A and B are shown apart, each in its own frame.
Chain A
């Protein structure tokens, strides 16, 4: 997995589209390139990892982030009749992959694995004798970066902490220029090509297939 700073990545794109001669009055802001990266990168990672999962190859370990000793929190309902929600909050939002495999593993501090639930199947599971969530059979479902825990109650939540391994989604826009960006080796060339195309389209108002030959007719000055 390639690792470089945000500034290096954006500068490379600018150098590519200006043929290595960026001028002072260049109409291309680094923040805008960062915004494009945030638009393209999650889709590229998702497409690449979904393809790997489909081919039963698994996810490269480089993509994973590990978080340890996450204490559960409680979201108390304002309504007296509604149930309070117990959840753990991850630092980053996991990437959305098929069957939510972006979250690879959630375990208690004792190593007991938590089963993932599809949000549509929670009520079915609750009606099953041995699959229903309990303190010895804890389950979760995910909404954004919150994992909602079932089987732990307000009284027992202090007894347990969790460890999670997941593929985080990266937001380049908010990073500092010297912050590291991790991009998979197979994704980097695809990302650069996409960014280059968008940047050229913006700078040179091209990208339209005027000759109807299946190619973008770049009119580079």
Chain B
């Protein structure tokens, strides 16, 4: 079953973990918040992590959102709200010369369908400095982010709660250097992690129907009434 979009505060996961760690006290709890974050990274993104933002260029660069994990989709628009084509050229700045003179001269403009060069680095998306790039007014980005609340504390997808409890239990045994506990908890954590990762990839009913509809449209239909 796919992961729901319901999010719970990290403190709920911590409390649940404390309820099964009989010997743990608040000295351990101080570290458990971080373990939740580490566990969440290992479970990987799901639909609860999704967000979108509008970015405005400064000197041909768009600053990436601070809470972004990785991009899902990106779109460029001009001031008339018309979408502009782009080609992602890779990382950093251009090291080869552009050999398309029409684009370089601005004759083949983005408004006519000419692609705009786009590249990215750690903190920015950069568009090319060709004549047509000045037409870009803003960009939309859909991205994966770590879900956090308004105070910056982690939010956890509800269905990832138990896998994270297993991870916390595993980390707690690591902290205690309890080799028997480490060996036993590791298998449970790995099994729970794999199950959660599988659930993250499972499409929802809505997405499933759309996939089925797309595939169905590709199958040739025979109209028996006409035939």
Contacts and interface: CB of A to CB of B under 8 A. Distances in A.
A115 B36 contact: no
* Majority DSSP secondary structure for residues of A touching B: loop
A135 B151 CA distance: 9
B30 A131 contact: yes
Interface string B25-39: 111011111101100
Given A101-B25, A117-B27, A129 B34 contact: yes
Nearest to B37: A130
B62 to A, nearest CB: 25
Interface residues of B, number: 18
A100 interface: yes
A98 to B, nearest CB: 10
Contact of B33 (A99, A101, A137): A137
Nearest to A100: B27
Contacts of B23: 56
B153 interface: yes
Contact of B30 (A100, A101, A121): A121
B10 interface: yes
Interface in A98-118: 99-101, 113-118
Interface string B16-53: 00000011011101111110110000000000000000
A130 B41 CA distance: 13
A136 interface: yes
* Majority DSSP secondary structure for residues of B touching A: helix
Interface residues of A, number: 21
A99 B30 CA distance: 13
Contact of A136 (B25, B31, B37, B153): B153
Contact of B25 (A116, A130, A135): A116
Given A128-B34, A131-B34, A99 B10 contact: no
Contacts of A128: 31, 33-34
B27 A118 contact: yes
A115 B37 contact: no
B154 interface: yes
A46 to B, nearest CB: 17
A139 B22 CA distance: 21
A188 interface: no
Contacts of A121: 27, 30-31
Contacts of B31: 121, 125, 128, 131
B33 A131 contact: yes
B37 A56 contact: no
Contact of A99 (B27, B32, B37): B27
A130 B27 contact: no
Given A136-B152, A137-B153, A115 B10 contact: no
Contacts of B154: 130
5 contacts: A56-B22, A101-B25, A115-B27, A115-B30, A130-B33
Interface of B: 10, 22-23, 25-27, 29-34, 36-37, 151-154
Given A115-B29, A125-B31, A131-B32, 4 more contacts: A56-B22, A125-B30, A128-B31, A130-B33
